[in-house]
Chains A and B, each alone.
Chain A
Amino acid sequence: MQKTLSYDHQLERFNPLDRVITFDDFDRGFNGWMDLTPNFVYDNYESFNSAVDLTSWAPSMLSSAPMRFAASHGSMEGTYSLKLTTGAVAAPHTQPPADGSMGIALKRLSRFGDPSKIQIEAWYSYTPAQDRIGLGEEDIRAFGFYFDVQDGEHRYMPGVRYVNSLGGKLVKKWQYWKVADGVTHADWNFGVEDGWCAPGIDNLWYGRRHEDGSSDGYQWVPGGEQDLLYNESPDKINWLYFRLLVDVQKREYIELQSMDTVFDLRGIQPTLAERYRSIDNLINPIFYVETDTDRPVHFFLDSVVYSTE
């Protein structure tokens, strides 16, 4: 068979690896991106015991990015983006996330083509709801991305998080996912001895958090300060580029790109947990957003490209 390939011109604003596995432009629907929920496998469909209510995250939606006083922004190209949002509630950043304080969306995939590298790229934007006067930038705690990966030996989660603001004070630094030394299973699960998750799994809500934004599950990216573009009102958004490249042969980070800045993460390994039952060869990409206060915040994904090599 002779193949003729023609690429969507929208790929011009991405830098995919050799093989594009998925290219999701939310003008055509949810593209399989869905809300994250726990496993409802116990009596009366209850989920496992956790210090964090994993059932409570706000639903993602297809958004035309309409604003209170500005018009609809549409998306970077087209009308709709995928919007992650939060409830109007936040716990202090030193505590476990409050019910509904995060928005999470993922795509459930598996390994294909025996890749050595996997990469996620996205064009995104972020803003709080314009439910009060002011700029609103300080009310967005963080947003992030991670891959949930399991091979034949380990489950691990290479990811990054942009810490925008903590307790109303702007921080604007990148972190990567890796567990601090000496963290026990009970530490990780906020004291729940039989907690579901092993250290290194689901860093987005597990692991103890400290006043300065450091935590059991996140480490600061060296030189990771970055003043990301945030416009002058909550009802103005701009589209930003994001890329994370991971070596799944060595189980190491390679690099994070944010706008035109590239952070070298070579030689850093995410925490390797024991494999979980029956999910070998799983690779899920996942985005999330967190509010810092009693105000919904939004994270818009215009489009996402997942590619491998």
Chain B
Amino acid sequence: MHTTNTSVLTRRVWIRSDYATLPYEAGWATEAVFFTQVEGEHPDLTITTDISPDGINWIARGEPRTLGSDQSIAESSLTTFGNWVRLRVEGASEDQPARILVHVNLKG
């Protein structure tokens, strides 16, 4: 039977500029699904998943997602990612902030 775990990477945080979650180790898992939710009004957001050899240097991996101002939830998935993962959210600003909640579900 697989092991599965859900961690909350970002808990209802207001973002007012480009944002990245903390480096997260997921090497025990073979699949990762990130869920990005937004509470209330927000601008269009672009969501990208990154991978890293060391949790310090990052490279984009997977298809970017757009979470439109009329949407409240988006998913991003990775199946080959090594050990370190993170999620980036771009599009929020001082004039148009967003309150975001990011879960990652891991399985392996």
Nearest CB of chain B from residue A192's CB, rounded to whole Å: 20
| A contact patch SS | loop
| Measured CA separation A67–B52 after assembly (Å) | 12
Q: Number of residue pairs across A and B with beta carbons under 8 Å?
A: 53
Q: Contacts of A131 on B, CB cut-off 8 Å? A: 56
Size of the A side of the interface (Cβ < 8 Å), in residues, is: 26
The answer to whether the Cβ of B45 comes within 8 Å of any Cβ in the partner chain is no
Q: Which residue of B lies closest to A44 (CB)?
A: B39
Cβ B3 vs Cβ A29 within 8 A: yes
The answer to whether the Cβ of B38 comes within 8 Å of any Cβ in the partner chain is no
Nearest CB of chain B from residue A267's CB, rounded to whole Å: 41
Q: Contacts of B28 on A, CB cut-off 8 Å? A: 62, 64, 79-80
| Measured CA separation A59–B83 after assembly (Å) | 16
Q: A62-B25, A64-B83, A129-B56 are in contact. List 5 more A-B contacts (CB 8 A).
A: A29-B5, A64-B27, A66-B83, A66-B84, A130-B56
A interface residues with partner B (beta carbon < 8 Å): 28-30, 35, 37, 55-56, 58-64, 66-68, 79-80, 83, 85, 87, 129-131, 296
| Measured CA separation A30–B5 after assembly (Å) | 8
Q: Contacts of B27 on A, CB cut-off 8 Å? A: 64, 66
Q: Contacts of B12 on A, CB cut-off 8 Å? A: 55
Q: Which residue of B lies closest to A29 (CB)?
A: B3
| Contacts A66-B54, A68-B56, A131-B56; A59 near B25 (Cβ below 8 A) | no
Within 8 Å by CB of A61, from B3, B7, B11, B54, lies B7
Nearest CB of chain A from residue B77's CB, rounded to whole Å: 19
Q: Which residue of A lies closest to B57 (CB)?
A: A68
Q: Contacts of B7 on A, CB cut-off 8 Å? A: 35, 59-61
Q: Contacts of A37 on B, CB cut-off 8 Å? A: 11
Q: Contacts of B83 on A, CB cut-off 8 Å? A: 64, 66
The answer to whether the Cβ of B8 comes within 8 Å of any Cβ in the partner chain is yes
Cβ A59 vs Cβ B9 within 8 A: yes
Q: Which residue of B lies closest to A30 (CB)?
A: B5
The answer to whether the Cβ of B35 comes within 8 Å of any Cβ in the partner chain is no
The answer to whether the Cβ of B24 comes within 8 Å of any Cβ in the partner chain is yes
Q: Contacts of B23 on A, CB cut-off 8 Å? A: 129, 296
